[in-house]
Structures are given as C-alpha cells and as structure tokens.
Amino acid sequence: MNDQRLRLDLAALADEVTAVDLRDRTLRTSRRLGIQRAVATSAAALVLIAAATGTAFAIRPDQTAPPLPADTPSVTATPTPNQSPTPTPSTSADDPSGAPPSGGSGTNTPSVQFGKLFYGPADVTRVKTAILRSWRPGGSTVQLLALPDIAFKGNMSVSSDGHRVAWVDSNNNLVVADADGSGKQQIRSNVDPYCVGAAWSPDRRQLLFRELAEPGGPGRFGMLDLRSAEMTVRWWASEPAACNAVWSADGRTIALTTDYGVTLYGADGTKKRVVPGFSRDGWSTDDVVSLAPNGSRVALLRRNMGGGDAGDVARDLRVNVVLDTRTGKQVTLPLGGRTLRQVYFQTDGSMVVRVQAGSGYAVLLVDEDGKKISETAEPASLKDMQILAVVD
Amino acid sequence: MDPLLSEFDSFVRTRTPALLRSAYLLTGDQHLAEDLVQSALARTHRSWNRLHHSGNAEAYTRKTMYHLQVSWWRRRRVPESMPGDLPEPRGGDSAPDHAHQTSLRLTLRAALAKLSPKQRAVLVLRFFEDRTEAEAADLLGVTVGTVKSQTAKSLARLRAVAPELAELYVLEGSTR
C-alpha cells in the first residue's frame, strides 16, 4: 500500500457527510458579522479577517478593598462610588441636555450608585477610528480619545479608575494612553490582538495579554507589570486554550471562554473550576462579558448550539443571561418584560443592566440581591453604541 | 432578485457539497462541518462584490475555511479528543470486505480526531484535496517547510494513535 490508500480512505470518510443547503444560514451569519475588515487575500490577512470577528472584552471595575475569598457568596456593598475625577481635560460634552434620569421607578440608595459607563460604536465596519465616550447616568456624555477600529472590535480595555485605556493596534503592539489621548505609549510588541487583547487587572498594576504565536494565533499568556521600569512579564506556566479575559474586582479570578463555555482561573493561570451548564450540543458561549467581584456570577451571551446559527466567531458584548458560576443556574433580573442587552458588575456586586427601551436603551441599577434600585434612559446619542466597560 | 445575490446563491448551492466534504474531514462532525462552511461562506458573501468578478470565490472560501479551522477561535470549539475510542483492530483479514472497510474508516476518523486542527488541515490538503506542498503552504499561510514538518508529524501521530493504519499507509508522505 501507499499513500494512495490514505487518499481513498479519506475520500470514503468524506462521503459520510450529508449535503445540506446552507444558503439561508450563510446569509444570516454574514449579516451578523458586521465588523468585517477590509478585504485582503493574503493568508495573514485572512487570519485577521477570521479573527476580526473575534474578541473584545470587558473591563473590570476596581476593588481597592481587601480581596474576598473566591467562594464568598456575596460582598458587602461599599459606600458609594466616587465622583472620580474626570480624566479628560480635553474632552467635550456632546450631550448638553445632561440626560437627566428618567423613568426611574426605584429610589436611589446612597450605598449603591451607577458608576461611569464607557461606550464605543456597536459597529465599526465603515470606520477606521472611532471615539470612546463615557457617560454617568444623570450627567452628560463625554468624548474621550479616538481609537482604531481594531480596538473596538476586539481588544481595548479601560483601567478600573477610568483614567487609562489599553489596546492592541493592527501592528500587534500593546499600547496604553490616558483616556484623553495623552501619554500614549507602546509598551510591548507581538501581542495577539483578538484573543485576550489587553485585560487590565483591577489594581491597575498589570495587563494580561497573549503573545502572538506563529502562524498568527495566540500563544503564551503574559502578565505585564506596568509598574516595573522594564515592563517585565510573568508568563503563565499553563497555556489554556482560552480567550476573552474578564477579571473579578477582587483580583483573584479571571474568567475565560473555553471550549463551549467558561472556565475560571486564578491570576497566575491556575485553573479553578468550569462553570457548569455548557456542552457541545447544548448551551454554549463565545463571549464572557463581566464577572462578579468575587467570581460568583458571570454575565455572557449564551447560545444554543442546536439553533443552527451558532458558530459565528464574532465577538459580542451583548448579554442575555447572568449565571451562578458554581451551579450554572440563571440569575433572575428585574427587566420588566424588556429585552436584556448588556450587564456589567460593579465593585459592590451591583449590576448595571442595559435593556431595550423603545428605539433606544435604558440602564437599570440592580443590587446584588436582584432588586432594581433605579433606572435611567440613555441619551439618544448612545443609541448606536454599546457599553464597553463600567468603572466606579 | 438582485443578480449578485442570485450568483452567490448559485455558488453556495453548487460548491457547498464539496466544501462540506473537506470540512467534515477537518472537524469530524456533521454539525461542526456545516458550521465551518457556513462561517467561511458568510465571509465570502461579504466580499462577493469583488470575488464574483475574480472567479476566485471558491479558493477564497477554502482559504478562509482552513484559517478559521486552525485559528484558535474555531479550534476551541472542537475538542482535542472527540467522542469515541478507536475501534478494535480486526485481525487476520486480508480481503478488504465491506465490514473491514467500515472498520478502517472508523479507525481513520477516530485517529484524525486525535490530531491537532493544524495537523488535520495539512493531511486533508495534501492527501484529500491533493494539494502540493506549496499550495498547502499558501492556503495555510505558512512556509513550505512548516507544511513538510507538519505532514511528517501528522503521519507520525496517525501511526502512534492507530498502528493498524501504519500498515496500510506509507507514512513518510509524498513530496511534490
């Protein structure tokens, strides 16, 4: 026998597949891609095209209080979020109306308040750069720095105090800058732009990233020490097949998407546990968006693999479910019959919940017990944007 | 109907069966194969304005398919070890009857599932699509040297996980 036998056996094996009509599914997926990069025919560019639909990630709020055990069932609500100094002297308000709270049905308690929400365009198909914006409910929207489209597609991160932004540019350089665009600094090259991008630790001292490996995929996980003069990197001993890093505010847990679901790791890459409820033929997720301060809950977009339209590799910051990371059970949210769009945990365990409200959106402040504290309509100027981060 | 969309429809319907065959070998699973082809076709659709003139739509789709498969974002969807152990090898049969062929096919499928996505891709390109090393390198965006080394590693891995196949195949691979 020779390799002709292998050819014949492969052909026979290929005969097992059943031909199906993929036309409608293809068009649906095409519509959803929505963030296609400029077409290129080189192999390297194809890798990017495949991945450009890939990743973005959420930014964890700060937590300066002593860390809680990872399995602590709840955290004490810390008194109120600071009116953190506006980091952007050069920014301009673009919504002078002030977007006063509206539709509030609850009473704002002094211990639980909205943090600052960061927004970017939901679709950057037709732009090369876009403006990062921030908004605190009750205030005006503020324009921050301009970022390249690749940052919004996959990899930008806001520090837990909202003062700094990190991203990986199209040349695979890890870049940090102040939120107003000043102090821009390239701090590392050869960083994978899509898998993890740059994930800022809650104490703002470290950036988690993945090195770019040949031939274009993500390689080692590195924890870059921002306070060291040489920007030293501590490499994880393990290299899990995982992406979309999301920190818990206590700094003890990092949620990563793996296989069909989510796995929790320690900050050193040690595997903690797999979030139950995901399987090859059942529920799956590609995009973990936010993790509770103690790692007990996770917000993500959950899909049914049997739904026929699964498998789109596009990164998606929409959220349709909040799960208990130990039991996999869904956490009930007070949506009032509206469609859930996004959820971000704050450092006190409360949640900023974005819901569809008519042609626009509203954000709800929900405490860690699932009770709605307040509700505010988003300014119309944010209608075509998505929340990228919430910081206290 | 928009003529462009009509052309794309025709392309999808005529080329999907062949694409699915390759995708099935790459993924080892009907649903994952459909998923892979669908994702590649969707990207082709988004570039259709340019591709339908060039006549390279199928090459583009295949290239995209292979890159999606070996890129991490798809790799994580495919377990490194798919369900099902290697079937017990049959002994003593020299005549390749139908049952024997079926057994070999199952063995091959299980063995392929134990390869990495990149190793599977190299084998499928070289021995199923009958691509040259240079063509395979171009499709995967790697050097010819990488294709050679991956081919050797893939065949060695096949030999290791399914020794009975080693008796059937020349495992050093061919060079073109």
Structure-block tokens of residue A366:
């929900």
Domain membership of residue B161 (yes or no) is yes
Select the more confidently predicted residue: A193 or A215.
A193
Over residues B108-132, mean pLDDT: 88
Same domain, B10 and B66: yes
Last-in-domain residue among B21, B42, B75:
B75
CB contact under 8 A, B174 and A3: yes
pLDDT at A125: 60
Considering only CB atoms, which chain B residues are within 8 Å of A42?
A: 141
- The last residue of one of the domains, among B75, B108, B130, is B75
DSSP string, A107-129: ---TT----EEEEEES--TT-SE
SS3 A239: coil
Range 269-308 of A in CB contact (< 8 A) with B: 280, 286, 305
> First-to-last CA distance in chain B?
45
Residues B64 and B126 in one domain: no
Instruction: Write down which residue in B25, B60, B75 finishes a domain.
Output: B75
We report the CATH number of the domain holding residue B131 as 1.10.10.10
Q: For the residues B47-72, what does the mean pLDDT come to?
A: 79
* CATH number, span A27-64+92-391: 2.120.10.30
Contact criterion met (CB < 8 Å) for B46 and A9: no
Domains: count for chain B: 2
CB–CB contact B41 A26 (8 Å): yes
User: Is residue B143, in this structure, part of any structural domain at all?
Assistant: yes
Residues B139 and B105 in one domain: yes
Q: Do B12 and B56 belong together in one domain? A: yes
Given a cut of 80, is residue B137 above it in pLDDT?
A: yes
pLDDT of A105 higher than 70: no
| Contact call for A13 and B33, based on CB within 8 A | no
**Mind giving me the DSSP string for A145-171?**
EEEEHHIIIII-EE-TTSSEEEEE-TT
Check whether A266 has a pLDDT greater than 90. yes
Tell if the CB–CB gap between B31 and A305 is shorter than 8 Å.
yes
List residues bridging with A200 in a β-sheet: A207
* Residue B55 shares a structural domain with residue B108: no
- How much is the pLDDT for B97? 60
d(CA A291, nearest CA chain B) in Å? 21
3-state secondary structure chain B: CCHHHHHHHHHHHHHHHHHHHHHHHHHCCHHHHHHHHHHHHHHHHHCHHHHHHHCCHHHHHHHHHHHHHHCHHHHCCCCCCCCCCCCCCCCCCCCCCHHHHHHHHHHHHHHHHCCCHHHHHHHHHHHHCCCCHHHHHHHHCCCHHHHHHHHHHHHHHHHHHCHHHHCCCCCCCCCC
pLDDT band at A166 (very low <50, low <70, confident <90, very high): very high
Q: Where are the domains of chain A?
A: 27-64+92-391
Which pLDDT band, with edges at 50, 70 and 90, does B107 fall under?
confident
Q: How far apart are CA A263 and CA A254, in angstroms?
A: 8
Structural contact between residues A287 and A154, judged by C-beta atoms closer than 8 angstroms: no
Q: What integer is the mean pLDDT of A176-195?
A: 91
Residue A252 has pLDDT above 80, yes or no: yes
Q: What average pLDDT does range B123-143 have in this prediction? A: 88
- Residue B88 pLDDT > 90, yes or no? no
Q: What is the ipTM of this complex?
A: 0.82
- Host domain of residue B49: 3-75
Residue-wise burial string across A86-101, b where 16 or more C-beta atoms lie within 10 A, e elsewhere: bbbeebeeebeeebeb
Q: Once rounded to an integer, what is the mean pLDDT over residues B63-84?
A: 56
Residue B104 in any domain: the answer is yes
pLDDT digits over A322-377, tens only?
999 999 999 999 999 999 999 999 999 999 999 998 889 999 999 999 999 999 99
CB nearest A3 (choices: B38, B45, B170)? B170
Considering only residues B91 and B109, tell me which one the structure prediction assigns the higher pLDDT: B109
pLDDT, chain B, mean: 76
